[in-house]
Amino acid sequence: MASGQVTKRVKYKTSVKDPGTPGRLLLTMEKLAFRPNNPNSASKFDMEFRYIKNHKYTKEGSNKAPMLNLTSNQGVSYIFEFENYNDLQVCKEFVGKALSKSGETPKPADTSQSLSEQPSTEELLLRMNLLRENSELQKLHKRFVSDGVLTDAEFWATRKKLLSGDLSRKSKQRVGLKSVMLSDSKPLIDGRTNKVTFNLTPEIVREIFAEKPAVHQAYLNVVPNKMTDKDFWTKYCRAEYLHHSKNAHAAAAEAAEDEELALFLKPDDILASETRRKIRCVDPTLDMEADQGDDYTHLPDHGIVRDGSKEITDSQNEPYMRTLLQDLNRHSAVVLEGTAIDDEQLKDTQTVAEALIQSKQGHKTANEEDDGNASQEKLNRISKMMEIEDLQGSNDLPLAPLCIKDPRDYFDSQQACAFKTSRDTTIGTEAVSTREAYGSLRDSISQIKVMGLNDPIIKPEVAMKVLSVLTHNISSTKYHLGKNPRESVLDGFPNKIKEDLLHHWMSIEELLRHYWSSYPVTTAYLYAKVNRLKDAMSKIDSQLQVILAEMKESVQSDLRNQLTLLIRPMQQALEAAMQHHDADLQKRLAKSGERPNGYV
């Protein structure tokens, strides 16, 4: 969308039953205009967005025609029927944006002073995207901006980094596949009967299809014409079972009898052709196949055959033995490639099969296009790789940026690990009691009193002792709870409390960030802001009190301690801010007595 302006073919109707006047709908940020095809028609009109109260539209997939309904503040509705849903989609978004903007600008004309230059449409779009993708951000935004604690501009001013083009585009990185092999799950055998149970979920099916294109192909061919979904998978599992049992002879025998079963056991032809295609565009500095092509020493029967450095393979029945190693390689390759199938499409095998086909086709055409570019790129890359990095100025390789889906997961586990190891290493000092530590600290202080300061002011051992006692509490919590590195203190609480805590913590962070950044208060605008922030903070503070009080009753005793431990720093931070505010106010009042021309 080129922002600024949108034009679409529509039919303008005054009511739903009206046959409508064909014409063009012109949308800009400020207003909308309708130009009928017949210039003589009376239905031509212009209208500014700020007069529009709300908008409705028909949902895609319903039987109705794609329509957009705008209602003005006088209660008149304007209905536009579009030619297709895509057009509607575009206009819908545009109108939504225009409306939100027009609703925003007229409101707090006083606060937006100096700070708020009108953001460009692109930026607005970005902001909306960010809010949509990041639910936490959305919550914060809702809480503060809608409540008038912060203005939109202020809110985004602290998140300039998120808005700087590149990053936001990268955030679209798809979530990759899991590394673990799902399809390799072992069959369940119950001891009593001769029954073997395989468990297949759509996710496993996706993996099977992606890793074994021949199975995928077979599925598309035979299901549901020749056999049912269930039969197909039964047969597949039978083949897998044969394969697992590592009995190549049995597999060969069965395959000879059953055509379809043989398909699952035979090497994959589709895969083979794909391999041939891929090997052609492999990095030449890795290409060992080329190497084989150049090796005349190892003509058949030349060189040393049996000196123990070379291995022997049992080549009988080989086509029926797919090795684990091949499976692993294949699996990793598929994971690396990723798939374009969303989780929503993981309903049943049929949809998975079809979705895969589609994504593959898209992939293929894309591949053919950039084949030429890729080889050039590859060469450039190789020559860059050849350079020795520290002999020359840096030459950054184009690496994919790190994108962690949920940073909290990452840091939590890291922290737990760190705690664990610090425990491991300081295991000797653990025994030190508080009293002992205090004693040694006091000793060294008195020593200083006697001898004055010498080079290490306090002996490192003493410092270590004291520190470890002081931090014992924190680390022990982590230690006791964090036996599993993925588990953090928070997980011990009921879900609601956990979420509340996190939310409060984020809110406080946001508020404090704004609060401290507005010091020193030099303008009336900042003064107002600080006051607003202060009010919000005291509100949260009281909320925290409430939580604490509530939880004292509801939560088990050992968790209560941890909860207070968690909440205390929040309260402290808030208190510090309040105190600073009060002190500042005092100072200001004192000053304003001397200098009546001051602000405020």
Partner 1 sequence: MKFQIEDVTVYFPYDNIYPEQYSYMVELKRALDAKGHCLLEMPTGTGKTIALLSLITSYSLSKPQRQVKLIYCTRTVHEMEKTLAELKLLHNYQIKHLGPAAGILAIGLSSRKNLCVNPTVLAAENRDSVDAACRKLTASWVRALAAENPNVPTCEFFENYERAASAAVLPPGVYTLQDLRAYGREKGWCPYFLARHMVQFANVVVYSYQYLLDPKVAGIISKEMQKESVVVFDEAHNIDNVCIEALSVSVRSKTLDGASRNLSRINQEIERFKATDAGRLRAEYNRLVEGLAQRGNLAATDTWLANPALPDDILKEAVPGNIRRAEHFLHVLRRLVQYLRGRLDTENVEKESPISFVASLNTHAGIDQKTLKFCYDRLHSLMLTLEITDTDEFLHIQTICDFATLVGTYSRGFSIIIEPFDERMPHIPDPVLQLSCHDASLAIKPVFDRFQSVVITSGTLSPIDLYPRLLNFHPVVSRSFTMSLTRDCICPMVLTRGSDQLPVSTKFDMRSDPGVARNYGKLLVEMVSVVPDGIVCFFVSYSYMDGIINSWNETGVLKEIMQHKLVFIETQDVVETTLALDNYRRACDCGRGAVFFSVARGKVAEGIDFDRHYGRLVIMFGIPFQYTLSKILIARLEYLRDTFQIKEGDFLTFDALRQAAQCVGRVIRSKADYGMMIFADKRYSRHDKRSKLPGWILSHLRDANLNLSTDMALHIAREFLRKMAQPYDKTGTGGRKTLLSQEDLEKMAENGVQEMLF
**Binding region for partner 1 (CB under 8 A):** 176, 179-181, 184, 275, 278-279, 282-309, 311-314, 323-326, 328-329, 332-333, 335-336, 379, 382-383, 386-393, 397, 399-400, 402, 421, 424-425
Q: How far is the CB of 182 from partner 1 (least distance, A)?
A: 10
- 116-136 per-residue burial string, b: 16 or more CB within 10 A, e: under 16: beebebeebbbbeebeeeeee
Side-chain half-sphere of 356: how many Cα atoms within 13 Å?
Answer: 28
Which lies closer to partner 1 via its Cβ, residue 189 or residue 305? 305
The one-letter amino acid at 586? Q
Which lies closer to partner 1 via its Cβ, residue 318 or residue 558? 318
Q: How far is the CB of 88 from partner 1 (least distance, A)?
A: 38
Q: How far is the CB of 287 from partner 1 (least distance, A)?
A: 5
How many Cβ atoms are within 10 Å of 552's Cβ, its own excluded? 12
Q: How far is the CB of 328 from partner 1 (least distance, A)?
A: 5
Return d(Cα 118, Cα 100) in angstroms, integer: 13
Which lies closer to partner 1 via its Cβ, residue 310 or residue 364? 310
Return d(Cα 68, Cα 90) in angstroms, integer: 11
Which lies closer to partner 1 via its Cβ, residue 391 or residue 451? 391
Q: How far is the CB of 372 from partner 1 (least distance, A)?
A: 12
Best CA proximity match to 60, nearest among 97, 89, 81: 89
Q: How far is the CB of 424 from partner 1 (least distance, A)?
A: 8
Return d(Cα 53, Cα 254) in angstroms, integer: 72
Best CA proximity match to 210, nearest among 336, 387, 45: 336
Q: How far is the CB of 530 from partner 1 (least distance, A)?
A: 39
Helices (H), 117-187: 121-133, 135-145, 152-157, 160-163, 165-170
Question: Contact at 8 Å (CB) between 423 and 489?
Answer: no
Which lies closer to partner 1 via its Cβ, residue 388 or residue 451? 388
Which lies closer to partner 1 via its Cβ, residue 297 or residue 454? 297
Kindly list the distances between the CA atom of residue 196 and the CA atoms of 192, 214, 416, in Å, as whole numbers in the listed order. 11, 24, 41
Strand partners, 12: 21, 80
Best CA proximity match to 54, nearest among 69, 32, 67: 69
Q: How far is the CB of 288 from partner 1 (least distance, A)?
A: 5
Q: How far is the CB of 392 from partner 1 (least distance, A)?
A: 5
Phi, psi of 21 (to 5 degrees): -110, 120
Kindly list the distances between the CA atom of residue 4 and the CA atoms of 29, 42, 90, in Å, as whole numbers in the listed order. 6, 27, 13
Report residue 432 CA to chain centroid gap. 44
Q: How far is the CB of 276 from partner 1 (least distance, A)?
A: 8
The dihedral through the CA atoms of 10, 14, 19, 23 has a sign that is negative
How many Cβ atoms are within 10 Å of 201's Cβ, its own excluded? 12
Which lies closer to partner 1 via its Cβ, residue 293 or residue 520? 293
Q: How far is the CB of 243 from partner 1 (least distance, A)?
A: 13
Kindly list the distances between the CA atom of residue 317 and the CA atoms of 91, 147, 251, 322, 326, in Å, as whole numbers in the listed order. 64, 73, 9, 10, 16
Return d(Cα 117, Cα 92) in angstroms, integer: 26
Is 83 buried (19+), middle (13-18) or exposed (0-12) by CB count in 10 A?
A: middle
Q: How far is the CB of 38 from partner 1 (least distance, A)?
A: 57
Q: Which distant-in-sequence residues (6+ apart) come within 8 Å of 330 by Cβ?
A: 211, 271
Q: How far is the CB of 293 from partner 1 (least distance, A)?
A: 3
Cα three-residue angle 70-45-91, rounded to 5 degrees? 40
Which lies closer to partner 1 via its Cβ, residue 389 or residue 582? 389
Which lies closer to partner 1 via its Cβ, residue 256 or residue 328? 328
Phi, psi of 71 (to 5 degrees): -115, 130
- The DSSP H or E segment spanning 233 is helix 229-244
Return d(Cα 248, Cα 506) in angstroms, integer: 60
Which lies closer to partner 1 via its Cβ, residue 150 or residue 181? 181
